[in-house]
Amino acid sequence: MNISIVLPTYNERGNIVDLIDAIETEVAPLMQSVQIVVVDDNSPDGTADAVRQRATKPGSNIELYVRTGARGLASAIKYGIRQCRGDVVVVMDTDFNHSPKMIPQMVEFLKYYDLVIGSRFVMGGGMEEEWRYKLSFLYNLLVRVIIRTQIQDNLSGFFAMRRDKLMALDLDRIFRGYGEYFIRLLYLAWRKNYRMLEVPVFYVLRRHGKSKSRFFHMLRDYTLCVLELRTARWARPSR
């Protein structure tokens, strides 16, 4: 199976090379071909330079795209997806919240499902930061109540998906803003009756750098996204 892995970066010089090494260690021996797509929003810390140097290592298939105009997590992921050539697309964070060890299992399940989600809120999942875990759990409960789906982790951002199924969705409508894109992705996949599976993942603390997440901005934007899905005509369930 050929897979493409999208890694959006901004100021991740301290993590990105170690992450690529870990991905190749866990994934490359099991797959026919692994394409690693790094989309960097012109990081001032030299993230792109670190990736360029790592890409010279023999046997690696790393493609680096540096964006100097558009910025933002969701649009970076969309840009990366459009560069993918694999049968399967994997999207993950670059701060080691998402473990590369989970990728082979998630890809294997795509033999039976269209979309596999790394979930903190199914049995075996969790987070090292207990307070964030509790807040995220409560917010996900609210999301499920409002949009009436049974997905446990709507905020994960760690997923593997069959490329044909992903490209059949409206990427421009989904990939806007920051992490709220993931709520839209799951909701629209659910509307299309995609077969979805959540597998347990455990979030550890980032190794290097600072998180780009801003709690109150995220809370506002995620809530507006959920309300839009609940009320907008284009987002109404077709079933």
Question: What confidence tens digit (pLDDT) does each residue in 176-185 have?
Answer: 988 899 999 9
- Encoding tokens for residue 127? 């987070």
- C-alpha span between 95 and 211 (Å, rounded): 8
Q: Mean pLDDT, 10 residues at a time, over the chain (239 residues)?
A: 94 95 89 91 96 92 93 94 97 93 96 96 91 90 89 95 96 92 94 95 71 66 87 62
Report the predicted TM-score, pTM, of the whole model to 2 decimal places: 0.90
What pLDDT digit, counting tens, does each position of 149-204 carry? 889 999 999 999 999 999 999 999 999 988 899 999 999 999 999 999 999 999 98
Superfamily of domain 2-235: Spore Coat Polysaccharide Biosynthesis Protein SpsA; Chain A (3.90.550.10)
Q: In this prediction, what percent of the chain has a pLDDT beyond 70?
A: 92
Do residues 149 and 190 lie in contact, with contact meaning Cβ atoms separated by under 8 Å?
A: yes
- C-alpha span between 135 and 121 (Å, rounded): 12
